[in-house]
Every structure is written in C-alpha cells, then in structure tokens.
Structure 1
Amino acid sequence: MLFYEIINDHPAEDPALICQDKMLTYGEVREEVTLWAAHLQSSGVCKGDKVGLFSKNCNEFVIAYLAIIKAGGVVVPFNFQLAAPEVAYIVQDAGMRVMVTRQKLELDAALQECGCGPLKQLDFEDLRQPVDRGYEDIAMDDNDNCTIIYTSGTTGHPKGAMLSHRNLVANAKDFTQRVLMYSSDKTLCVLPMYHCFAWTVSVACPLLHGCCIVVQENYTLAEALRLIQRYEITQFAGVPTMIQMFEKGADSGQLASVRFFISGGASLPQKLAKDFKKKFGKPVQEGYGLSEASPVCTVNPAEKIKVGSIGPQLPNVRVEIRDEDDRRVASGTVGELCVRGDNVMLGYLNRPEETAAALRGGWLHTGDLAYQDEEGYIFIVDRLKDMIITGGENVYPREVEEALYHHPAVQENAVVGVPDKLRGQAVCAYLVLKEGAAATKPQLRRFLMERLASYKVPKYFFFCEQLPKNGTGKVMKTALRENAIEDLVNRQN
C-alpha cells in the first residue's frame, strides 16, 4: 500500500479532519489531495523530487503532505520553529526546488548564503486554485522513499532519515495492533505534525482506521480541554509536559471521554504517571520511538502497564538489547537498544557512512542504553548520545556550541542538559570568554535567537575561567552536568 492510499476506502461522508471548528469529510479530503497533487505536477514536481512542507498544525498540512506524495514527490516536513539559515541548510541538503507553505517565507538571503538554487514556494491558496491539467497517476512502489525526517546529528548538522511508504504504513498498522483504534474514535492532534511521533500516532493511525482527527494548532490547556469536551475526544497522544498540565489543571470530568493517553518524546516521570492514574483513574501508556523507525518501536499495552517502562516491542517489530560486540545480552543486562522491522528507515540522505554505521548487522542502533525484563518490557537507562530532550524536541549540544562560537566574545563553550520540571530537560551553556571581552546573558540569547530555533537557545548561561577537560583535551560533560546542577542550586538571579 502507498501511504496516500490509507484514506481511499473510508465512506465519503465520514468526518476526517476538524480544525478551528471547520470539518472536512474523507470525500472532501480525497478531492483536495488530488487537486493539490495536480497543481504540484503542473508546477514541475516529478517522481522522487524533494518537496518541503512548512506549516503549523492545520487541515491543510495533512492535505499537502498526502498531495506531495500522490504527485510523486518526497515530502520533507520542516519544524516551523527553525530560523532561516536552518531552513536553508535543509533545502540545500535535500536538493529541494519546491516548498509548500502556509505563508511564503523570507528565505532569499539565507538561501543565497548557502549557495542554493532557486526555490519555488507555493502557499495553500495557490494550491486551491483551479488547474488546467488533471492529475497524472504515478507508478510507485511501497519501498520508494516517501518522506525525509531531518534529525540532528552528532556533527551538529541535521541529517535526513529516509522513510518509505512501507515504513509508514507498517508502523501505523503495528501500533494499532497494540493500541486499538476504531472508525468511531476521535483523536486530538496537539503535537506538531512535522514531528514523526505526531504524524504516525495522531495522524497516520487515525486516518488508516477512518477516525476523525481534531486538530489543535498550538497547545494550550484551556483549548485542549475545550476541544476534548466539545468533540468527545477518545484518543490523546502527547509529551510528558502535556500530561503534567492535565494532571495539574484538569478535573476527571473534563477528560471522561478519553479512552487512552499515549506519552512519548521524552521519559515520563514515574511520579507523574502514578499521580495521573490516581487522579483520573486511567493510566498513561508510555512508548518509545525515533525518527529512523517511523518512529514507534515499543508501547505499554493497556491491559498491563509497567510504570517506568517504555513497554514491550510492537507486533512485527523486533527489539534487542545488544552489547558492544553486537551480541544479544541477557534479561536485566544493560546494553544498546537495537531495532529491526519494516518500520526501519531506508537510510540517511547523502550519508552512506552514517547509514552503514546506524544499520550495521541489519539492526538499527538507536544509541540508547536500556535493559529488558523477563516479560519483554524495556526500560531506558541513559542515552549514549549527549542529546537533550526539552519539551519533546531534540537538541544536540554541538549545534548550539557551533552557533555560540560565532559570537565574537566567546573563546570556548560547552552545552549540556539539566533537569527541568516543566520540559524534562533544559539547555545549559558554559562559556569561557576571550580575554578582555564581555557578554551578557540577554545579549547571548538575542544572538542565538537569530540563528537557532527558540527551543534550542539555552535557558541557563554560566561563565567560567576554564572548562573541565580530560588528558586528551576533551570536555568532560559528565562532570559539567554535575557542576550545572550544583550551580543551578546556588545561582543568584
């Protein structure tokens, strides 16, 4: 099955999407997707072309995503929080010539600085207009590249995980074998659709089963509660921060219609999971995934949830804990979490060496340390990488460090994650300034806001005379994280 075909067989009159109280049926969505696909083809999109998609959550995001694929293109969703230079890098790396946007972006200077060729932007209004030519069916295979999800790499540059039609469809089918969905269900999509977790769990899975998706553009507790009650939402997926907001600010009656709550994107604190269950009488089903696996690999089944665990492997997905020699370890032994299945990516765009390393031995190596109990439930222990997860968004320290090095006053810097009650982790930067130079925290924030998405900008800045280093000159980030916790306790703001 090709991914855009998941909407084909549902009754035309059934509700598919609701956003800002405007409803589209499955029949209307199919018509719009075909029209927009014809527009894209008339604009020169051919099979295999990389087409950007830049928008906040809305009905049109779903239509554009499916239309790009139906036109033969490969959809590249953008995090709408990215700054212009970050967008330009992805445009260049993907060899992109066309981008679909809610509103056209000011990218000329950033694209020119990157050495990019011309980029044609089509906004939603452009794609709604009548088109002279009809849609031309494109021969495609389910192993063809369908989407590219850009995820930060250890070098600080984003790398594109290429996912096929089969990857996306298989993950939606496998997830809903564990978490059942019915055509009568209504899903609240509050997570950003550009994010792989949101796209699979809150969009692809419901569309596959003919559910109705109620779209929330920006998450606020008050609006989420209003939508849940007005539309009698039965399914909710979010990051722990959202679960925490429910636990603090909602009463049990306001969430009575919701049949299940899924949490992902960051570790769910055990106390929060227990407090939520106690207050609402419903558990939170924590799962785990990564973009390279479309993304879901594990999730707790409703019939048996283990607090602190990310659950057992999904049906048709194999998860093993392996040692440094790529051998499977015994239950209870910590090793690297590795994944195999139809959900695993084709590889990284333009990065054959990194692809080979990530997929060595036929297994996706996640870079996460975990152990598995005797019942197959998996527990994340730590991350091999230094990645920071703040509010469900991935931040790689090297990217922030590289941006800070462009500041004229910065001699050295190192970025680490520190615990944060609201977001799970916060970004913290340590800086050594050049002799005689000066910089203030507000100045540094303003400097970075022009170069990075806001969630990547450090919440905390500490100035020091030198960074802790080992004998080879490498910054000891474990020691730095320990220092950061102590400094946060003692800081005077």
Structure 2
Amino acid sequence: MELTETVVEKRAEKPKLLSSRTLPALLAARAARNGNQPLFSDGSTEWSGADALEIASRRAGALAAHGVKRGDHVALLCGNRIEFMEMVLGCGWLGAVVVPINTASRGPQLEHILRNSGARLLVAEAQLVDVVHALPARDLPLEHIWLIDEPAAHSLPPRYETSAFPPPAESIPAAKLENGDALAVLYTSGTSGLSKGVICPHAQFYWWGYNTSHDLGVVAGDILYTCLPLFHTNALNSFFQALLNDAQLVVGRRFSASGFFDALVTTRATITFVLGAMVPILLGRPVAANERGHRVRVALAPGVPGHFQEEFTARCGIALIDGYGSTETNAVIGGVASARRPGYMGKLAQGFEARVVDEHDEPVPDGEPGELVLRANEPFSFANGYLGMAAETVKAWRNLWFHTGDRVIREADGYFRFVDRQKDAIRRRGENISSYEVEQVLLSHPSVETAAVFGVKSTLAEDEVMAVIGLRDGEALEPLDLVRYCEPRLPYFAVPRYLDFEQELPKTENGKIQKFKLRETGVTVTTWDLETSGYRLKRH
C-alpha cells in the first residue's frame, strides 16, 4: 500500500555502535550527549537522561546498603510504574540481576519462579504481595520484601520480613561490567509447562534497541508510548530504543481499548506498540475522532493478522510493522514500513542468520514449512540460556542454532511467513493443518473477535480440529453459519469439527491465548459437533 499522509516514514540512521553495551555505559552516554531531554515517564513522574543516571547510581546504593551484591537476583512484582524502571536501572548499575515477574502469576507458577530465580529480595506493589504470602509454607530463598505503597488493611499476615520501599541512597560507582553479564532474567509466558527463566545479558537489550529502533525509524525527540507490560521483552526493550536515540518512553498502566487513542493524544506519542489481539479489538469499536487526533506514524505490531493491517492503517493513519523476535533472541526479522507485506513478518535483519529446517535440522526448500532456527553474528545479542535448566538450554540451542519452536515459510525473495507453533500443528486425515491459518479465517468473520484452534484426539488416533470462539460485543453467530463461512476459505479437512463459544478466552498478561488450558478442557457437553449436526462438508 502507499503510506497515507498521516503515515510518514522516517529514515533514521542507526546510532553509532558502542563498544561497551552495558546499561551503565548507555546511561552515561545519554546523559553526556543529551542529559536534559526527557527519557522516561510513567505519566506522573518524568526523568531526563541526567535524572536516570542519578537514579541508577542512588538506587544501586540503596540495594548495596541492603546487602545486595553483584550477581544477586532481585525479584520484582510490579506493574508499569516508575519504581519498576528504578529497580531495573539500580540492578543494572550495581551488577545485580533484576527478575521481573508477571503480575498475574499465582500459586505453583509464582512459587517456581521465586525458587528458580534464587532471589532473596522481592520488590512488590502492596496490592500484589498477598499472592506471595498465600504460597505454601515451603522453603523458598526469599527473605525480605520491599513494599511499594501502603498495604491494605485486609492484607494477609506477612510470611516474610517486610519493609517500605526505601528512598534512594548515596550514589555509588557503576560496577565494571562486561557486555555478556546478565541484566535480567525474564520468565516465559508459561503457555505450556513450567516457565523458563531466560538469562538476558546487557548487550542483548542494546541490540534490541539498536535493531528495533531502525525499523521503526526512531529519531531524537520521538515519544514512544507503550501500554504493554514492562515485565516482558517487548516493552522493556522499548526503553533502550529511547535511550539510544535521544527519544522518550512513556508507559501506560495497561491496555484499554476505550482509552488507547486518548492515551496517544495525551502523551503526544509519535510511535507506539501493539500486539496481534489488540488491533481487531480496536477495530471492533465504533469510529471515534481521536483515532486521527494523534501524532503516531508507526507501530510495532507483531502477530497482527495481515487482513487487519491495511484496515487499521486506513482507519487510524498508523503504519503497522510486523516482525519476529523472542525473549531468547532479538529483533531478527522485520523491516521498515515501506517494505512491509501484509501477512509476512518481513526479511532477516542484518547481523543474524536464519534457516528453516525439518525435524533432523536439515534445511527445507523455500516455500516449504519448517522450524525457524536462528543465530547471531554479534556476541551476546541472544540470551545466555535458561536459568537452572541446563538440559532445556542444550535442547533449545542444539547444533549451535537456537530452535524457536515456530513453523515458518521462507519465500524465494527472502520474506518469512509465520505458519504456527510446532506444538500447535494438527494432523488430520493424513494432512498437516496450521492452527494459525485456520484462526486467520475465523478472525476474518465480522462477528468474531478472538479465536483459538487446536487439535483434540479422536477415536481414530489422529487429531480433530477444535476452535474456541469469542464474539464481538452484541454479536450472535450460529455454529453452522461459521462452518459455512469457513468452507470456501479452507480445505475441507481443516474446517473445525468442534466449536465452542466463550465470552473470555484464557490469556497471559501479554495477550497470548493459553491454549493448554483450552486443550485440558477439550470437548464438553456444550461443545457443538459438526458430525452430529447432519451437515456434510463439500470435498474440494
């Protein structure tokens, strides 16, 4: 498509490469280069580059006074607020490792993260700390909690020594760090199995900021707005985009469909960040004036279905850039706005290698699906492995390639297209079915807001296709009508046999549908079954 007048692509030069890619070095360089300009805001408190440098050194001083040393892990249970970034900067300055925890974590998952991380100090919002005190009385490394805000009167009795979040202390010198030293341990979403703690070095975040900001065209003076959670890579690395390019990052507390465009207007944002599910939700709302009252020219939008990209840009004046990256890797596939191709993630970025391989790690020809495997040319631009999970690390990085677990197709011209997760592939009637491709057809129906497709076992020892559907507000849809909609758009063997309609699908805090929960529920007495409906699909 041609970019609209609102969507003006900026061709930013990549920032000058720095030999020291640690957070203290990047903060010092920003303060020396552009210290008085805004760098970060949570909507109530704003830091300049010089402020951030001071905050880092003084928060590190408070951590050191508490006995935290270089290499120690500090857990963080906190939403998008100034204290979150204060802890990231303080740990990075001291050489400690910050462990952000998904604020939705509960029970066994939270217990696993606290045990696996080995954190003795937890910094937590008062409204969230009860989930820690509610854990079973088992031996955890946790000893002390710094509490942000006053606890509610009805809070559970504290199981661990607790004190108020201390004020910044006297500045201390930055630790002498290497690019490969760990800055954070980020836990995977836990969509299946135990969450894995991904050990992310300082240089990995540098390269996230360096590569992503080039695709987005970040320039000095830009205002980046994200309402995605800072405990995930997508939002956290946006801070480094601002840091490297003399821009500012503003964070919102959470995504609100009704308030999203208001936030863009209020913050005067020029760049924003969305995920796949957010765009159809926004498009499902009535057209409003503020959809064009903002200054945003481009959004990083991984996972947005191709048929929504053109509609969103035409309606809201924001170019959407797809791409590929994971907590373990970096911004490895993407491209600038003018090179986008709806339905494709983009092309391989400079500095990385990619292959599409079969189950034996042998490359498959262009145009055929296989697993995406990756490696980086620059040292420490990928994660260092999984914390305390040596076998999982070796498995993921076998044959010196990181195995993503994602099935993709590489076209002859170098564009990559996502097919599905390896574990989401469905085998039916001797055919391989992409759950992702079935989901795209379901999502294209005007009444459908969300959809999850997965395989359930049949009596024939193969898979049957099941879909759980969430409808747009005020919409109604008969199962057979949805089947008839799918029939001309899918091979007959890929049309879902089973359909369930739910008001709310289980999701992680980052908006990913937790299919493992849907698989566990499977077919119930309320599930609609095509085979018992009397309707017969046409084989075409």
Question: Shorter-normalised TM-score: what interval?
Answer: 0.7 to 0.9
SS at the partner of 1:9? helix
Q: Which residue of 1 aligns with 2:137?
A: 113
Q: Which runs of 5+ in 1 are unaligned?
A: 398-414, 424-444, 466-482
Tell me whether 1:148 sits opposite 2:171 in the alignment: no
| Structure 1 residue 281 displacement after superposition | 4.5
Shift of 1:254: 3.4
Q: TM-score, normalised by structure 2?
A: 0.70
Residues paired across the two proteins, number: 424
Identify the residue that residue 5 of structure 1 maps to in structure 2. 25
Post-superposition shift, 1:248? Answer: 3.7
Select between 353-362 and 9-18 the one with higher mean Cα deviation: 9-18
Structure 1 position 122 matched with structure 2 position 153: no
- Paired with 1:197 and 1:454, the residues of 2 have a C-alpha distance of 13
Compute the displacement of 1:192 (Å). 0.6
Picking from 38, 60, 72, the partner of 1:49 is 72
Q: Quick check: 1:310 aligned with 2:345?
A: yes
State the SS of the aligned residue for 1:213.
Answer: strand
Higher helix share: 1
Q: Which runs of structure 2 are paired with 1:464-483 in the superposition (5 Å)? A: 464=524
Partner of 1:345: 383
Partner of 2:283: 247
Aligned-pair CA distance for 1:50:
1.0
Q: 1:164: which partner in 2?
A: 201
Aligned-pair distance for 1:222? 3.7
**Aligned partner of 1:179: which letter?**
L
CA distance in 2, matches of 1:416, 1:134: 58
In the alignment, which residue of structure 2 is the partner of 1:408? none
Aligned to 1:26: 49
Q: Deviations over 1:80-107 (max 9, x none)?
A: 1111442222111111101122337135
Partner of 2:423: 385
Q: Matched residues in 2 for 1:281 and 1:20: separation?
A: 24
TM-score w.r.t. length of structure 1: 0.76
Instruction: Return the match for 2:213 from 166, 176, 181.
Output: 176
Q: More displaced, 54-63 or 273-282?
A: 273-282
User: Please, which of 189, 206, 230 is the counterpart of residue 242 of structure 2?
Assistant: 206
Distance in 2, Cα, partners of 1:420 & 1:377 = 31
Match of 1:370, SS state, is strand
Aligned pairs for 1:408-487 (under 5 A) are 418-420=468-470, 464=524, 486=529
Which has the larger displacement, 156-165 or 174-183?
174-183
Partner residue, 1:271: 307
Please report the RMSD computed on the Cα atoms of aligned residues, expressed in angstroms. Answer: 3.7
Contact 1:146 1:165 in 2 (8 A): yes
Report if the CA contact (8 A) 1:322-1:329 is conserved.
Answer: yes
Deviations 1:335-357 (A, max 9, x none): 11011114321111111111111
> 2: distance between equivalents of 1:251 and 1:154?
35
Provide the C-alpha distance between the structure 2 equivalents of 1:82 and 1:240, rounded to a whole number of angstroms. Answer: 22
Measure how far apart 1:180 and its partner are.
1.8
Change in Cα spacing, 1:455 to 1:308, as seen in structure 2 (3 Å) is closer
Aligned to 1:214, what secondary structure does the other structure show?
strand
- Cα distance between partner residues in 1 of 2:527 and 2:398: 36
Amino acid at match of 1:298: I
CA distance in 2 between partners of 1:330 and 1:455 (Å): 31
Contact 1:97-1:117 at 8 Å conserved across structures: yes
Could you tell me how far apart the structure 2 residues matched to 1:257 and 1:154 are? 35
Name the structure 2 match of 1:261.
Answer: 299
2:356·2:370 contact (CA, 8 Å) conserved in 1? yes
SS in 2 for 1:221: coil
Check the 8 A contact 1:36/1:127 in 2, yes or no. Answer: no
Change (3 A) 1:259 1:463: closer
Gaps of 5+ in 2: 1-20, 150-163, 426-434, 440-451, 455-464, 474-503, 534-540
Q: What SS does the corresponding residue of 1:188 show, helix, strand or coil?
A: strand
**1:190 aligned residue:** 227
Q: Distance in 2 between matches of 1:254 and 1:15?
A: 26
> CA, structure 1 residues 90+296, in 2 after alignment: closer, same or farther (shift >3 Å)?
same
Distance 2:341 2:206 in 1: 28
Task: Check the 8 A contact 2:216/2:300 in 1, yes or no.
Answer: no
CA distance, structure 2, for counterparts of residue 419 and residue 7 of structure 1: 46
Alpha-carbon distance in structure 2 between the residues aligned to 1:386 and 1:95: 32
Question: Retained in 2: the 8 A contact 1:50–1:96?
Answer: yes
Query: What is the rounded CA distance, in whole Å, between the counterparts of 1:254 and 1:84 in structure 2?
Result: 40
Equivalents in 1 of 2:401, 2:314: separation in Å?
A: 39
Deviates more, 1:348-357 or 1:110-119: 110-119
Deviation at 1:419, TM superposition (A): 4.9
Distance 2:523 2:214 in 1: 51
CA shift digits 1:336-388 (9 cap, x unpaired): 10111143211111111111110011111011111111221100112112499
Write the mapping of 1:217-228 to structure 2, written as runs, cut at 5 A.
Answer: 217-228=253-264
CA 1:153–1:13 in structure 2 vs 1: closer, same or farther (change >3 Å)?
A: closer
